[in-house]
């Protein structure tokens, strides 16, 4: 299944909009749509950061999936869970 993700970013003292279509597992999405979208958005943002090499002032301003579902806070929670889950 595909979802549409739009991310508003701040970098180099300017705002940017990145949007794209991402694949999600249908079973996961049916069970927890917002959490599944948040994990997918987090992974996609990490790929964007690696490919574009955003500077230190990089910030995520907002994240919306399928045009109307704001998951900004959930994506921030995904980040903190991943950092806390490291074995060292």
Question: What's the pLDDT score for residue 50?
Answer: 77
Q: How many CB atoms lie within 10 A of CB 5?
A: 23
Tell which wins on pLDDT, 48 or 2: 2
Decide if pLDDT at 22 tops 80. Answer: yes
Tens digits of residue pLDDT in 34-70: 999 999 999 998 888 777 676 677 788 999 999 999 9
SS3 31: helix
Decide if pLDDT at 81 tops 70. Answer: no
36-73: b or e for each residue (b if 16 or more CB lie within 10 Å)?
bbbbbbbebbeebeeeeebeeebebeebbbeeeeebee
Q: What is the chain's mean pLDDT, rounded?
A: 86
- Tell me the pTM: 0.81
């Amino acid at each position: 299944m595909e979802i549409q993700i739009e991310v508003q970013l701040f970098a180099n003292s300017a705002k940017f909009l990145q949007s794209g279509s991402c694949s999600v597992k249908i079973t996961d999405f049916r069970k927890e749509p917002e959490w599944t979208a948040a994990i997918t958005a987090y992974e996609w943002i990490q790929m964007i950061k690696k490919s574009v090499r955003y500077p230190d002032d990089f910030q995520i301003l907002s994240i919306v999936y399928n045009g109307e579902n704001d998951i900004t806070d959930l994506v921030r929670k995904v980040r903190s869970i991943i950092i806390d889950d490291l074995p060292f």
